Amino acid sequence: MSTTYVLSAPVGPAQLNRPDDIALIRRLLNNFINLDLLPNSTLFAESGHWDNTMATALKTIENNYFFGSADPNNKLENDDTLFNFLCNADTTQKEIASTLSAESYQLAAAMVPGGADWTKRLVIKTTETVNGKPKVKRQIQSELVRGNIHLYLPLILQALRDKQLNDTDMIMMAIGTVRAEASGFKPIDEGISKYNTSAKGTAGRHGFDLYDLRDDIGNSQVGDGALYKGRGFVQLTGKSNYISIGAKLGVNLRDNPDLANDPQTAAKILAEFLKTHEAAIRTALMTNNLALARKKVNGGSHGLHEFTRSFTAGRKYLGIVVPQKAKAATKVKVKKK
């Protein structure tokens, strides 16, 4: 990122920490706070010294936006990712989310390979004359095809930040949920399966008939199952959920259920689901109980295998080591959706 701000010397513990440089960092942090990108923080006085409050604020930004690794040498310098990020925080929040997609892309690609970029290879055949005879020449051309992560990850990051869920655990929880529910990293309709539709030959069978009279999800009549089938990144299911989540978002999902597949709305629904169960999810993740974390979103164990594979891949990419005690945590037994 380009910047008009320049430090005269490195800033951080055991550095020169010149007064003008400290004042600049404090102004940039205040700008971050005013943009509501550093919640629950108090504005800094511009004059002052390097202290633990500054260090904590900078570390929080690293954890929330860069998975804790934007300032590896523990000092701010002009070419640092963290310093440049601070300098450019006066863009809109959506633009900031977009800049993060490149930083977050590799994590999402590791966790949801189906949404990653891929290379399309074409064989081009041409005919040329050699020694008076036609000869077919084959040439392979490669084309990079953008995956859905580039399109939809910024929307998810934005929605998570709006709910103050943009830390490593909850970002991984969101991406892992997408892997389990929409492996192409795109909001989709739920497909017909044995979990939602009666077996062939069953009297009165129709798509999603097993959802029709499910009081536990608010469906009360024939046709409700198909109308309020799973949609979006989190597969929002059932009339009750469409009504309650729609009310929280200010969107009439009851009368317009297909809006749950609108990418921006789908991202907000995902964040709302995680926020609703935030405390329980965080507790489950602390003990590595991925089955319970998954259950808090899905209500069962549907997609648990893909969710677990996604989390494992994400942790491997980030170099997160799970303590042995947490690895041995008791897994809850859950029923399928």
Three-state SS for 45-70 is CCCCCCCHHHHHHHHHHHHHHHCCCC
CA distances from 58 to 158, 220, 236 (A): 20, 51, 36
Q: At what angle do helices 304-318 and 290-298 cross, to 10 degrees?
A: 130
> What three-state secondary structure class fits 189?
strand
Q: What is the pLDDT along the chain (337 residues), one digit of tens a residue?
A: 444 789 999 999 989 999 999 999 999 999 888 887 777 789 999 889 999 999 999 988 877 666 555 566 788 998 887 888 888 776 645 455 545 545 678 899 999 999 998 888 888 888 888 888 888 888 887 777 878 988 888 889 889 988 989 888 999 999 999 999 999 999 999 999 998 999 998 998 999 999 999 999 999 999 999 999 999 999 999 999 999 999 999 999 999 999 999 999 999 999 999 999 999 999 999 999 999 999 999 888 889 999 999 999 999 888 876 655 445 444 444 444 4
On the CB side of 332, how many CA atoms lie within 13 Å of its CA?
A: 18
Write the DSSP string, 111-143: H-GGGS-EEEEEEEEEEEEETTEEEEEEEEEEE
Amino acid at residue number 36 = D
Domains of the chain, with CATH numbers?
Answer: 19-90 (no CATH), 150-327 (1.10.530.10)
User: CA-to-CA distance for 267 and 264, rounded, in angstroms?
Assistant: 5
Helices (H), 67-118: 81-87, 93-111
Q: In sequence order, which residues have a C-beta less than 8 Å from that of residue 159 and are 6 or more positions away?
A: 264, 267, 268, 270, 271
Name which of 290, 297, 278 is nearest 332 in CA terms.
Answer: 290
User: CA-to-CA distance for 60 and 104, rounded, in angstroms?
Assistant: 17
- Name the pTM for this structure: 0.66
Q: With beta carbons less than 8 A apart as the criterion, state whether 210 and 185 touch.
A: no
Largest CA distance in the chain: 84
Q: b/e per residue, 231-263, with b = 16+ CB within 10 A?
A: bbbbbbbbbbbbbbbbeebebebbeebebbbbb
